[in-house]
């Protein structure tokens, strides 16, 4: 049997008396887009933090392609193949769009500890960076300072930088947060094109995007999974309806 790209086993996390992750186990399979949905406060972001390495679970394990990464810090997990885009855009505001991509590119190539040649004028770095930007259609904004970008463009840059590390599994934390209709559609198309190339764990509230993109959907309520399945399974599930309608 093919190994899952990402596997969570019995993950538990409490903050004081509040249990945020309740004995959670699930997988993300190679090439699939797996959406994670649930009402606010369900613990989705904390879960992402535990996969990403920013938060340590109280118990349980995280596996990447069969290899346990529970004890690793964020940079090691990123190098192992975890990519992440942040819910609130987290780009290098003091740099231009192209420079953002160059820093990502040189990081991917493991060249960051070099002291001689100028980085921003390096032809091969610029070429690699342009490729990163063209994946999300930001090439013509390359020379703009990141702080000048419109919100939607910044979300695109966010996605581009997440892809730049050549991840095996991509954690997308509400990529469409605050994006307008047109931007959401563009983002949806781009994510759709990634299907098969990289496994994606998608947190989103935008149900149109979720139902269009997701191969599988997992519903999280109060730190525990109440349902996993295809889009049809989920929309027909009474448990899910109860959870959403109940908390409305």
Partner 1 sequence: MSGIRNLIGLVYEGVKDNRLLWLLIIGFALFPIITHFADLPFWNDVAMRIMLLGMAAMGLNLVLGYGGMVSFGHAAFIGIGAYCAGISQFYGITNGWVHLGFSIITCGFAGLVIGYLALRTSGIYFIMITLAFAQMLFFLFVSLEAFGGDDGMSIDRAEFGFIDLYDPLRLYFLIWIALVVVGMGLMFIVRSRFGVTLRAIKSNASRVEAMGLSPLRFKIVGYVISAVVCGIAGTLFASWQEYVSPDIMHWTRSGELMIIIILGGLGTLAGPLLGAIVFLLLEECLPLLLGAAAPAYAENWMILFGPLLIMVVMFGRGGLIGLLSQLQVRRNARSDHRGP
Contact status: 86 vs partner 1 (CB under 8 A) = yes
Q: What is the 3-state secondary structure (H, E, C) of 40-85?
A: CCCCHHHHHHHHHCCCCCCEEEEEECCEECCCCCHHHHHHHCEEEE
Beta-strand pair 67-68/59-64 = antiparallel
Token pair 């509230």 is found at 205
Nearest residue to 89 (alpha-carbon basis) of 150, 165, 167, 168: 150
Q: How far apart are the C-alpha atoms of 65 and 68, rounded to whole Å?
A: 8
Nearest residue to 89 (alpha-carbon basis) of 78, 105, 100, 99: 100
Nearer to partner 1, 69 or 164 (CB): 164
Binding mask 40-79 for partner 1 (x = CB under 8 A): ---------------------------------xxx--xx
- Min dist CB 224 to partner 1, Å, is 28
Nearer to partner 1, 79 or 236 (CB): 79
Nearer to partner 1, 93 or 242 (CB): 93
Among 14, 19, 45, 111, binds partner 1 (CB under 8 A): 111
- Min dist CB 121 to partner 1, Å, is 7
Which residues here bind partner 1, judged by CB under 8 A? 73-75, 78-79, 84, 86, 90-95, 99, 102-104, 106-108, 111-121, 161-162, 164-165
């Amino acid at each position: 049997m093919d190994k899952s790209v990402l596997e969570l086993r019995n993950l538990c996390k409490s903050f004081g008396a509040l249990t945020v992750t309740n004995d959670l186990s699930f997988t993300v399979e190679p090439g699939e887009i797996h959406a994670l949905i649930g009402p606010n406060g369900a613990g989705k972001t904390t879960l992402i933090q535990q996969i990403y390495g920013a938060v340590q679970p109280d118990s349980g394990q995280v596996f990447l392609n069969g290899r346990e990464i529970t004890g690793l810090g964020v940079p090691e997990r990123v190098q192992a193949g975890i990519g992440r885009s942040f819910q609130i855009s987290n780009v290098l505001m003091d740099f231009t769009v192209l420079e953002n991509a160059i820093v990502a590119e040189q990081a991917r190539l493991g060249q960051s500890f070099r002291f001689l040649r100028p980085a921003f004028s390096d032809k091969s770095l610029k070429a690699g960076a342009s490729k990163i930007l063209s994946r999300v259609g930001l090439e013509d904004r390359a020379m703009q300072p990141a702080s000048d970008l419109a919100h939607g463009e910044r979300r695109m840059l966010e996605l581009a930088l997440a892809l730049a590390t050549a991840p095996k599994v991509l954690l997308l934390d509400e990529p469409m947060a605050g994006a307008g209709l047109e931007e959401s559609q563009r983002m949806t198309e781009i994510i759709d094109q990634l299907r098969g190339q990289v496994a994606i764990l998608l947190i989103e509230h935008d149900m149109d995007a979720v139902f269009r993109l997701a191969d599988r959907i997992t519903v999280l309520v109060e730190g525990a999974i109440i349902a996993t399945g295809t889009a049809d399974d989920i929309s027909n599930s009474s448990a899910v309806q109860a959870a959403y309608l109940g908390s409305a």
